[in-house]
Amino acid sequence: MLRSTYRYGPLTARVRGRKSFMLVKSDYDAMLTSENVQAALRRLEKSQYQRFVAPLLIGESSMGKAEENLNKAYQAEFNFILSNLRDREAIGFFNEVNRSLELRSIAALLKSIILSVDWGRAVDYLFPCGEIDASSCRTLIESKDFKKAVQLIKEKLLARDINRIWEEAEDPARKALEVEVAIDAYASKRVWERLNGFRGRDRECTKLTGIALDTTNIMTVLRMKKLGFQQALIEKYLIPIQYRMRKDELERAVAAPTEKDSIKMLTAGFYVNIVSPLISTYAVKEDLSLFEIAFKRFHSNLCEKIFIHPFFHLGVALAYLYLKWYEVRDLIAILTGKHLGLASERIALYLTLHQPPHPI
């Protein structure tokens, strides 16, 4: 107890302080009912985002610039955590988490190039972070230079696999998904390996990461099943880690004939309460994002529970970064919805924080 207080006492206090300034449900509701993008942005003038939204309130501002500034706000939070770490294992872990975000940014960039998505549309889901900035993303997307984009991947074995997919796969949609899941699996394994040295209450990081990895595997199975990938190829891109999902349960989901059959296989395990209420809705909408959103809401609630207990451990910092990530993605979703003129009820379906467990 004394050791954990010495190692993480100052960091935990600072993180809890910053957590108290996160947006609350009334802030979300006010933004959702705002008349337009500018009115929604004004709701952030007195928040932690003030210095990032202030330039957007002067004259006309593009959605691309708004997303870029909000992504910078998240990166600033990540840098704050890194600057306050003193333990070598903790620094290594969070650096790996940061790199995983960069790799997923590269995956989104490569996906845009493969599918010939223009910059105006790509900016809706790109999240440049770390060394990956919006300007370089735009240049690569507009030039459609896949080979140059792959050079952003410094990990040689991963870059080799991505180039192989580019050469061998034919259908653009299948190619884009294969690239995305290959990068996701690689990044996730690297993060998990960094957790091996954690002990005591620092293992809260294992719980938060493990649930996220289970979700990644589940969504990989469902998405690849829906696109008709064969069982052997799906197995190739699964993360060889199960946290709350049993290995045999995952194997049955992979072997099922369709994604709908795979979903039914998930109703006998740990995630039954997340999956079961959505089955009838999916039968009508056939939109897999329903499950992805529900998993994020479940995960965000786990992160919130970390702050209920007055202990000093590294999980507090990780939970905070997860929550800030969800908050920034939510803000971008709200602004995008306002930009497109969507009703507040429809926008809310795609949000993670301050929402009911299921998007129905």
pLDDT tens, residue by residue, 277-328: 999 999 999 999 999 999 999 999 999 999 998 777 899 999 999 999 999 9
pLDDT of residue 252: 95
In a domain, residue 270? The reply is no
Which amino acid, 320? Y
Residue 60 predicted with pLDDT over 80: no
Cite the beta strand spans of 105-196 per DSSP E: none
Least confident of 4-18, 42-56, 336-350: 4-18
pLDDT of residue 200: 85
In a domain, residue 176? The reply is yes
Q: Structural domain tally of the chain? A: 1
Phi, then psi, of 310 in degrees rounded to 5: -85, 50
* Greatest distance between any 2 Cα atoms in the chain: 58
In a domain, residue 65? The reply is no
pLDDT of residue 133: 83
CA angle 267, 272, 275 (to 5 degrees): 85
pLDDT tens, residue by residue, 239-286: 988 999 999 999 999 999 999 999 999 998 999 999 999 999 999 999
pLDDT of residue 64: 80
By residue range, what is the domain housing residue 187? 86-197
Residues whose CB is less than 8 angstroms from the CB of residue 91 and which lie 6 or more positions away in sequence, other chains included: 82, 85
Cα 56 from Cα 49, distance rounded (Å): 11
In a domain, residue 45? The reply is no
Q: What is the CA radius of gyration of the chain?
A: 20
Least confident of 22-26, 47-51, 201-205: 201-205
- Give 171's DSSP letter: S
In a domain, residue 166? The reply is yes
pLDDT of residue 4: 52
pLDDT of residue 61: 67
For the chain, the average pLDDT equals 91
What own/partner pairs with CB < 8 Å and gap ≥ 24 does 295-299 have?
295/215, 295/218, 295/219, 295/271, 296/215, 296/326, 296/352, 297/352, 297/355, 297/356, 297/357, 297/358, 297/359, 298/211, 298/274, 298/357, 299/208, 299/211, 299/212, 299/215
Residue 88 predicted with pLDDT over 60: yes
Closest to 282 (Cα-Cα) out of 360, 220, 174, 177: 360
Q: Can you state the angle between helices 204-226 and 172-193, rounded to 10 degrees?
A: 160
pLDDT of residue 135: 85
In a domain, residue 112? The reply is yes
pLDDT of residue 313: 85
Q: How far is CA 171 from the centre of its chain?
A: 26
Ranked by mean pLDDT, which of 56-60, 136-140, 151-155 comes out on top?
151-155
Cα dist from 258 to 6, 231, 253, 353, whole Å: 52, 11, 9, 31
The pLDDT-based confidence of 141 (bands split at 50, 70, 90) is very high
In a domain, residue 249? The reply is no
pLDDT of residue 2: 38
pLDDT tens, residue by residue, 338-357: 999 999 999 999 999 999 99
In a domain, residue 244? The reply is no
